[in-house]
Amino acid sequence: MQELLNHQYIVFQILDEKYALKILDIYEIIKLQKITTVSNTKGFLEGVINLRGKIVPIVNVHKRFGIPSYKISKSTRIVVVKPRDEMIGIIVDGVNQVVKFKDVQPSLDIVSGIEGTYFEGMGVTSEGVVNIMNIDKVLYEE
């Protein structure tokens, strides 16, 4: 857990819950744009976007985690991550802030009804606890 303290994180929302990703995992954050659907893909793949000439697959984390679907608002964003040298966007309900956690605790077995293996730990801030996503497991584990 100590190595997780050495990073800065972007805190974002999915429904009413706050989650975090390491800034190093993030390529950029953009406003929601038109997503082109693609047939015969995994159920949580919403489609693709064209980001300055690059085709970027977009993951709906609501579907991935089996939680109610997002409602598009002014706050809805696509967080573009670049794990394994490929750009992938994830739809989030809002982006809150950049933080460096005071403390990081091990993740629970279940986090807000979501399997705990998708998380690296729980970061502690003055405002409470934020679950730190393991983006590789979210995107690539079956």
Q: Residue 85, exposed/middle/buried by CB under 10 A (0-12, 13-18, 19+)? A: exposed
pLDDT: which is higher, 74 or 108: 74
Architecture (CATH level 2) of domain 2-140: Beta Barrel (2.40)
Question: Is pLDDT of 70 > 80?
Answer: no
- Position 1 scores a pLDDT of 57
- Position 2 scores a pLDDT of 56
Mean pLDDT of 83-103: 91
Per-residue confidence band for 11, with pLDDT thresholds at 50, 70 and 90: very high
Closest CA to 48 of 116, 40, 56: 56
pLDDT: which is higher, 64 or 114: 64
Q: Residue 94, exposed/middle/buried by CB under 10 A (0-12, 13-18, 19+)? A: middle
Per-residue confidence band for 113, with pLDDT thresholds at 50, 70 and 90: low
Distances (CA, A) of 56 to 19, 49, 80, 122: 22, 5, 8, 29
* Phi, psi (deg, nearest 5) at residue 106: -60, 150
